[in-house]
Amino acid sequence: MDSISLYSLVKASITLFVVIDPVGIIPLLVSLTKDMNEKEKKRTFRLAFYVSLILLVIFAILGQQIMIFFGISVYSFKIAGGILLLLLSLEILFTGEGSIKISSKEELGAVPLAFPLLVGPGAITTTIVAIQSSGIIIGLGSIAIASVFTYIVLIGAERIYLVLGKTGAQVVAKVIAVFIAAIAIQYILTGVQYYYPPVGIP
C-alpha cells in the first residue's frame, strides 16, 4: 500500500470512528447495562460489534448501487449527508442525547446500541462517501478499523466512565460533535463547489 492509500485509509478510519462516537454514548451505555452481569455485558457488546459491522458492510457494498438506481451523484449525496451530519452534531451539542427507545435486555446489543446509536445516519453517510471517494478497499478497511476501536471502547466503557465521570464524558461528546460539524460542513462545501465552482480571480 502506497503512502497516499495509507493516508486515505487512516483518514477514512478516523472520520468514521469520530462519527460513530462510541465515547459520546458511554453515559447512556453505562445506564442501559447497569442491571447486567459481566457475562451479559460482554455478550451485548459482541452483538453490537457484529451487528454494526454487518450493517456498515452492507451499506458499503450496496450504497453505490442504491445511488445509481436513484440517479444520485456522490456530490449530491455529500450535500445531503453533510446536512444530516450537521443536524446530528447540533443535536449532540444542544441536547446531549437523542430520544432513544430502549429495547429488551436480549435485544439491547442490536437495538438501540448497534442501530441507531453506533450505526446511525451519520455513520451510513460517512461509509458511502468513503466508498465513493476512496474505493471499496479503503472503505471496507476503514469500517474494520473503526469497528475494532469502537469495540475496544465498548468493553472498556465502565473504566472510561470512572475516569471521565458523567460530566467528562459529556464534554468529550460535545467536543467530538464539533469535529462532526466540521466534517459535515466540508462535505457540503465539496458538493456545492462541484455544482457552483468558485470563479477564478484574474
Reply yes or no: is the peptide bond before residue 116 cis, omega within 30 of 0.
yes
Q: How far is CA 89 from CA 86, 145, 148, 170, in A?
A: 5, 22, 23, 13
103 pLDDT band, cuts 50/70/90, is low
Domains held by the chain: number: 1
Q: What is the pLDDT of residue 1?
A: 62
- How does the average pLDDT of the chain come out, rounded? 85
Q: 138-150, pLDDT tens digit by residue?
A: 999 999 999 999 9
The distance in angstroms from the start CA to the end CA of the chain is 40
Q: 45-56, pLDDT tens digit by residue?
A: 999 999 999 999
Report which DSSP code applies to 200: P
Does 49 fall in a domain?
Answer: yes
Cell of 37: 452481569
Does 200 fall in a domain?
Answer: no
Q: Which of 44-48, 86-90, 123-127, 183-187 has the lowest mean pLDDT?
A: 86-90
97 pLDDT band, cuts 50/70/90, is low
23 has pLDDT over 90 = no
Does 97 fall in a domain?
Answer: yes
Which residue, among 197, 85, 78, has the nearest Cα to 130 in the 3D structure? 78
Does 115 fall in a domain?
Answer: yes
Does 55 fall in a domain?
Answer: yes
Q: 41-95, pLDDT tens digit by residue?
A: 999 999 999 999 999 999 899 987 888 888 888 788 788 888 987 887 887 788 7
Q: How far is CA 4 from CA 7, 10, 68, 147, in A?
A: 5, 10, 27, 22
Does 119 fall in a domain?
Answer: yes
Q: In degrees, to the nearest 5, what angle opens at C-alpha 17 toward C-alphas 145 and 53?
A: 55
Does 201 fall in a domain?
Answer: no
Domain that holds residue 19: 3-29+36-195
How many CB atoms are closer than 10 A to CB 190? 16
Does 202 fall in a domain?
Answer: no
User: How far is Cα 120 from Cα 88, in angstroms, rounded to an integer?
Assistant: 10
| Mean predicted confidence (pLDDT) in 24-51 | 88
Q: 1-22, pLDDT tens digit by residue?
A: 677 789 999 999 999 999 998 9
